[in-house]
């Protein structure tokens, strides 16, 4: 057992295994959503059933997983989904059994976790949530389709994804974590500051952990954009960074709950771009760090700029990193290494 665990973990240090092609002709695409009775699940399921994640011609079967105590709520969600009379929605199954949820799944979005409440640090969550992802990694290995693409949303998302991939011995290149919400937050703030003309060709990148150490960056891949004015440069090197880093905490303070509708939209963006392709656009995804061109050590799930086509992502090359960005990236790396140690990996 211990030998198996070590060999699974070592795969995270090796260059990614080839990604199994994602089939383009599935009559019905089965998507498992965990924590589906929660707030993100409630916003996300209808977006998928409307065709926003897998396209306007792809039928989808939803498998909604939540705890036994949440089955009534899940029944209500199922009724509402059926009441939407959505032509792409093939079926909705609800369950408290991960085997039922993941059997034959083509894609899985893992939101099921205990969320951070105001005043809690994300790392406080790590030990509580680790057990969930250990178990689900093994069930996905045993029951899901070999090409299944997995997105971990539940926090701490990067390390939960690492736990999942390791415990299941999954192809690490099929496992990712959500930093697209941070990316979208950065894109929104760039547009608000610079307007459409100033924002043209300005590439947002999120490096590192989905946490307060993440590195929002508007310059490293923006060589084609107009130069920033001194005021704008001061904003993007200063206030902008904690604004993005703390956006989730800010929403939580105001709503008393963590972001849900923007998280659901970001999940759709992430999976759509991964599976249908990002059409040359660079987006941020937290993926295994092995083989990256930016000097981040292997063995982490770290957010990078990537492009995607047909279920396969590639590191976007060519980012020119300043010393400040490198220093910040190192701090995020150190946090992820610490989380990995705390998780016992
Ligand atoms: P929520 O509390 O509304 O829903 C979580 C659901 O998970 C609950 O219904 C709960 O019963 C369920 N759950 C708990 N353990 C489970 C298990 N073992 N199996 C299946 N279901 C289980 O929370 P939410 O607002 O929907 O957020 C979900 C997660 O996403 C949280 O961890 C939150 O911190 C995280 N989040 C991440 C991002 C990101 O960008 N990565 C953004 C927002 C929220
Ligand atoms: C977010 O970025 O909004 C969430 O990850 C916040 C949280 O901790 O749930």
Which helix (H) or strand (E) is 288 found in, with range?
Answer: strand 283-288
Q: What is the pTM of this model?
A: 0.96
Quick one: tokens of 212?
């307060």
Looking at the CA of residue 181, tell me the nearest atom of ligand 2.
2
User: Is 57 one of the annotated active-site residues of the chain?
Assistant: no
Ligand 1, atom 17, residue with closest C-alpha: 112
Gyration radius of the chain over CA positions: 19
CB 324 within 8 A of CB 234: no
Distance between start and end Cα atoms, the chain: 14
Probe residue for ligand 1, chosen from 33, 35, 76 as the CB with the greatest number of ligand atoms within 8 Å: 35
| 149-152 vs 175-177, strand pairing mode | parallel
Probe residue for ligand 1, chosen from 250, 258, 261, 265 as the CB with the greatest number of ligand atoms within 8 Å: 258
Non-local (6+) Cβ contacts of 194 within 8 A are: 202, 232
Q: How far is the CA of 256 from the centre of ligand 2 (A)?
A: 12
Ligand 2, atom 3, residue with closest C-alpha: 248
**Within a 10 A sphere around the Cβ of 287, how many other Cβ atoms?**
27
Q: What is the pLDDT along the chain (345 residues), one digit of tens a residue?
A: 455 555 566 566 665 566 777 999 999 999 999 999 999 999 999 999 999 999 999 999 999 999 999 999 999 999 999 999 999 999 999 999 999 999 999 999 999 998 766 666 666 789 889 999 999 999 999 999 999 999 999 999 999 999 999 999 999 999 999 999 999 999 999 999 999 999 999 999 999 999 999 999 999 999 999 999 999 999 999 999 999 999 999 999 999 999 999 999 999 999 999 999 999 999 999 999 999 999 999 999 999 999 999 999 999 999 999 999 999 999 999 999 999 999 999
Looking at the CA of residue 112, tell me the nearest atom of ligand 1.
7
């Amino acid at each position: 057992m211990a030998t198996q665990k070590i060999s699974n973990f070592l795969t995270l240090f090796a260059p990614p295994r080839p990604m199994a092609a994602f089939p383009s002709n599935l009559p019905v695409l089965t998507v498992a959503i965990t924590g589906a009775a929660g707030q993100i699940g409630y916003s996300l399921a209808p977006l998928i059933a409307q065709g926003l994640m897998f396209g306007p011609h792809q039928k989808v079967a939803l498998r909604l997983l939540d705890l036994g105590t949440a089955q009534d709520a899940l029944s209500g969600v199922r009724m509402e989904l059926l009441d939407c009379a959505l032509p792409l929605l093939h079926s909705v199954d609800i369950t408290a059994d991960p085997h039922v949820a993941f059997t034959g799944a083509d894609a899985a979005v893992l939101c099921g976790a205990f969320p951070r409440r105001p005043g809690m640090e994300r790392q406080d969550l790590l030990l509580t949530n680790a057990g969930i992802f250990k178990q689900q990694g093994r069930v996905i290995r045993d029951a899901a389709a070999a090409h299944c693409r997995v997105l971990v949303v539940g926090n701490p998302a990067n390390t939960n994804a690492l736990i999942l991939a390791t415990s299941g011995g999954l192809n690490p290149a099929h496992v990712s974590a959500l930093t697209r919400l941070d990316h979208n937050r950065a894109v929104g703030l760039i547009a608000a500051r610079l307007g459409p003309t100033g924002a043209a060709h300005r590439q947002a990148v999120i490096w590192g952990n989905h946490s307060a150490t993440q590195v929002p960056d508007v310059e490293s891949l923006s060589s084609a954009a107009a130069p920033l004015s001194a005021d704008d440069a001061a904003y993007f090197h200063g206030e902008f960074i904690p604004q993005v880093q703390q956006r989730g905490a800010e929403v939580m303070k105001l709503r008393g709950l963590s972001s849900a509708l923007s998280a659901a939209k970001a999940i759709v963006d992430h999976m759509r771009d991964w599976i249908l392709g990002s059409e040359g656009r660079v987006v941020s995804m937290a993926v295994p760090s092995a083989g990256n061109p930016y000097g981040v050590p292997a063995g982490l799930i770290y957010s990078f700029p990537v492009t995607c086509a047909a279920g396969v992502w590639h590191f976007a090359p060519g980012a020119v990193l300043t010393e400040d960005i490198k220093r910040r990236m190192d701090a995020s790396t150190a946090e992820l290494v610490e989380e990995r140690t705390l998780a016992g990996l």
